[in-house]
Structure 1
Amino acid sequence: MRSACSPPHFFYAIVTLAWIDRGGDGTVPLFSVLLVTVLLILSMAVFAKLVQRLNDIQITNVLHFIGQQGREVIRTMFPRLDAPAGPTPESWRAAVEAAQRCPVTQTLRYSGEPLTIARFRVAALVRQAQAADAVIVMECAVGDTLVEDTLLLRVHGGRQPLAETPLRQAIQVARERTFEQDPKYPLRLLVDIAIKALSPAINDPTTAVQAIDQIEDLLHRLGRRALDAGCVADEQGVLRLIFPTPTWEDYLTLAFDEIRQFGASSVQVMRRLRAALLSLMDSVTEAERKERIRRYVHHLNLMVEHSILDAEDQVVALQEDRQGLGLSRRRAETERDAIPSP
């Protein structure tokens, strides 16, 4: 038979029984009473902590935590567009093209069980490239899963081959993706929560709208940042490291495509998506990014028009509403008319 109490409880009971009426005085030791009181207070404190932890896993808190991680990685990775002038995207593109025209002098491949790139030790890679007067071009991005014989990097130019061990150590891997150096990951998690909420088994568009709130905030921050973070120079301004980073269009696609597809029949989700896109159009300053958003709004309009919604629901779905359903904005109709077909 299984014991009715845990080993610590059983040990406490045996010790207490051994001290009760010790010496025939007919008393219970004060120590045992005090110990029970302390354990009771400790149990209450642990239970209160457990209740607090259960509150932390409520969906609103989870969404806020993921969004906070995304805001932090955006802040650390990407400089603001209005920051002091640095190399322009055109100059970076010219430097990248010049580096890639140099002959490939070395390649490095992965060997081992499938793992995910967690982060690059950028400073270490730049130092190694500078020492050999070379340019390291990463063929994998943070968040990629590596399998046997995956090409990790190419070395262009250089006076001598780079040591493989330090190169491998500069590419840190883990069993799963992390937030560090990967602004796509918080977006990916938020989108996953949204599309799970939109599944027929759950049917919770309000949670999807709450996820879009966090997604929109991250895109607002990305829209005001210089996204050319994949080019790193040494102290002399010479390009030494190139690694893949997403474009503005990649972020839009990741953030909205699946939600748009799975939420096409939800008036609430369509209205919230439209509000997010029009707000982004007002927020971004680069003409190319505005044009990408404009095309996306046009695509959203077409999807609503070809959805299973009837004519009256389509009119409602084409309105802007930051709450999804609850507060229509007239601006959406006039703004929609001003958006030309791509």
Structure 2
Amino acid sequence: MLYIIVTLVCGLVFPRLEQEYLADYSHGMSVASAQATLSAIASGMMALTGIVFALAFVMVQFSAIAYSPRLVAWFGRDPVLFHALGLFTATFFYAIATLAWIDRGGSGKVPLFSVLLVTVLLILSMMVFAKLVQRLNNIQITNVLHFVGQQGREVIRTMFPRLDTVGDAAPESWQTASESAQQRPVAQTLRYSGEPQTVARFQIDTLVRHAQEMDAVIVMECAVGDTLVDDTLLLRVHGSREPQAETLLRQAIQVARERTFEQDPKYPLRLLVDIAIKALSPAINDPTTAVQALDQIEDLLRRLGRRALDAGCVTDDQGVVRLIFPTPTWEDYLALAFDEIRQYGVSSVQVMRRLRSALVGLADSVTEIDRKAVVERYLQHLNLVIGHSLLDAEDQLMALQEDRQGLGLSRGRAEK
């Protein structure tokens, strides 16, 4: 709409200014040629717009069905898509506006600058079209997996400090802090009212400031990624001097119709797992895609394994805990990342080998003993699943090998 409004204003104003002050400048082509050229540009832009966007939406829909329906929003919100639509429409409208000033009043003149502006818009449209084609190429599975993985790496980097930087000052777990806060009286509760929505993010600084003003601790009863239904408990305020306005507290909890990557490291893992298990379905039967998804999943888990995951306690400037919100444990991340892939991929030797390689690499990567023990337990569970699978003895031996490529380069074999 902004492109259309600007184009209509320019189409009404600029040709009049050109006729008033730049009437001596005209294009050398004939009136008939100019009219034919501008008509061809205008009609061609509308045809191009229809064809390009029909193909774009078909490709987006097909790719979303093949990968995950939750990726539709990412494809549909691509700014290049909107700029292309706006620029194509602007070129059409300005070509029509320039046509109205060809041979205006029987002058026999073709306005030079208006025609040049239409030409510039046409060139820009072709450049944006090339950019749009390049973006559609990003729908390829490798690019989609890399994009989702990159979003996960970014949220991990911003949310969780490295273990080697926190040292002895590791944050208190949110469960322990919540138990301590519950010893103080509950001064205020806040419940959700409305249609089902998903918690997109918390405005942490705002909530901490409100808690500091009340000399209280705010304990969130919902987590980022939770779906809120009517009358869901959002938070409790413990030990407040004076209750804060519910509207202010409610505004600090941002909700949306779907999950977002902000403050939610589980969401990238969820999307990667969705792509992997859909690829393992009998209708698609593409274990190589599942292996590629495991590449990104392993990378995210290795990064999480080196981070302080108890990020659910936030203090004020004086070091007093003011905000507590639930965060996943290390075992929660492993369950999300591996359980469904193991269940749906048990009949695929390729997936089992890549899954084993991911777990072995993860066990070598993490430094905390408790986390390493959880990974080793997952390895033992994987052995058990393979041993009880429908694979024959030879295939079970193959599945017990490590292979980062799935099937391609064996690196070791587990003891049954």
- Do the two structures share a fold, i.e. TM-score over 0.5? yes
Letter of the structure 1 residue corresponding to residue 149 of structure 2: G
Determine the C-alpha separation between the residues in 1 that align with 2:120 and 2:328.
Answer: 56
Describe the superposition over 1:80-107 as per-residue Cα deviations: whole angstroms up to 9, x where unpaired: 1111435446687654432111221211
Give the one of 85, 88, 99 matched to 1:15.
Answer: 99
Q: CA deviation at 1:131?
A: 1.7
1:316 equivalenced with 2:380 (yes/no) = no
Letter of the structure 2 residue corresponding to residue 126 of structure 1: V
CA contact (8 A) 1:136 1:240 kept: yes
Determine the C-alpha separation between the residues in 2 that align with 1:289 and 1:278.
Answer: 13
Change in CA separation of 1:86 and 1:39 when aligned onto 2, cut-off 3 Å: same
Listed as ranges, the matches of 1:156-167 within 5 Å are: 156-167=238-249
Give the one of 111, 128, 132 matched to 2:210.
Answer: 128
Partner of 1:186: 268
1:328 equivalenced with 2:410 (yes/no) = yes
CA contact (8 A) 2:277 2:290 kept: yes
1:142 equivalenced with 2:224 (yes/no) = yes
Letter of the structure 2 residue corresponding to residue 291 of structure 1: A
Partner of 1:108: 190
Listed as ranges, the matches of 1:11-50 within 5 Å are: 12=96, 15=99, 19=103, 41-50=123-132
CA contact (8 A) 1:16 1:32 kept: no
With normalisation by structure 1, the TM-score equals 0.87
Listed as ranges, the matches of 1:232-247 within 5 Å are: 232-247=314-329
Q: CA deviation at 1:165?
A: 1.4
Partner of 1:263: 345
Describe the superposition over 1:193-250 as per-residue Cα deviations: whole angstroms up to 9, x where unpaired: 1111111111111111111000000000000000100011112211111100000000
Mark the runs of 5 or more structure 2 residues left unpaired by the alignment.
Answer: 1-42, 47-88
Determine the C-alpha separation between the residues in 1 that align with 2:338 and 2:386.
Answer: 14
Determine the C-alpha separation between the residues in 2 that align with 1:75 and 1:315.
Answer: 39
Determine the C-alpha separation between the residues in 2 that align with 1:58 and 1:322.
Answer: 21
CA contact (8 A) 2:95 2:118 kept: no
Change in CA separation of 1:29 and 1:252 when aligned onto 2, cut-off 3 Å: same
Determine the C-alpha separation between the residues in 1 that align with 2:181 and 2:229.
Answer: 27
CA contact (8 A) 1:115 1:175 kept: yes
Partner of 1:291: 373
Give the one of 258, 261, 280 matched to 1:198.
Answer: 280
Change in CA separation of 1:285 and 1:83 when aligned onto 2, cut-off 3 Å: same
Partner of 2:256: 174
Determine the C-alpha separation between the residues in 2 that align with 1:94 and 1:175.
Answer: 31
With normalisation by structure 2, the TM-score equals 0.72
Mark the runs of 5 or more structure 1 residues left unpaired by the alignment.
Answer: 338-342
Determine the C-alpha separation between the residues in 2 that align with 1:51 and 1:30.
Answer: 32
Partner of 1:230: 312
Change in CA separation of 1:164 and 1:19 when aligned onto 2, cut-off 3 Å: same
Give the one of 233, 236, 252 matched to 1:151.
Answer: 233
Q: Which moved more, 1:236-245 or 1:8-17?
A: 8-17
Q: CA deviation at 1:123?
A: 1.2
Determine the C-alpha separation between the residues in 2 that align with 1:91 and 1:247.
Answer: 10
Partner of 2:63: none
Q: CA deviation at 1:174?
A: 1.2
Partner of 1:63: 145
Larger % of helix: which? 2
Give the one of 196, 209, 213 matched to 2:295.
Answer: 213
Percent of aligned positions that are identical: 76
CA contact (8 A) 1:106 1:156 kept: yes
Q: CA deviation at 1:175?
A: 1.4
Q: Which moved more, 1:58-67 or 1:84-93?
A: 84-93
Letter of the structure 2 residue corresponding to residue 15 of structure 1: L
Change in CA separation of 1:111 and 1:285 when aligned onto 2, cut-off 3 Å: same
Give the one of 360, 364, 375 matched to 1:278.
Answer: 360
Give the one of 368, 379, 386 matched to 1:304.
Answer: 386
Change in CA separation of 1:9 and 1:78 when aligned onto 2, cut-off 3 Å: closer
Determine the C-alpha separation between the residues in 1 that align with 2:173 and 2:404.
Answer: 39
Q: CA deviation at 1:47?
A: 3.3
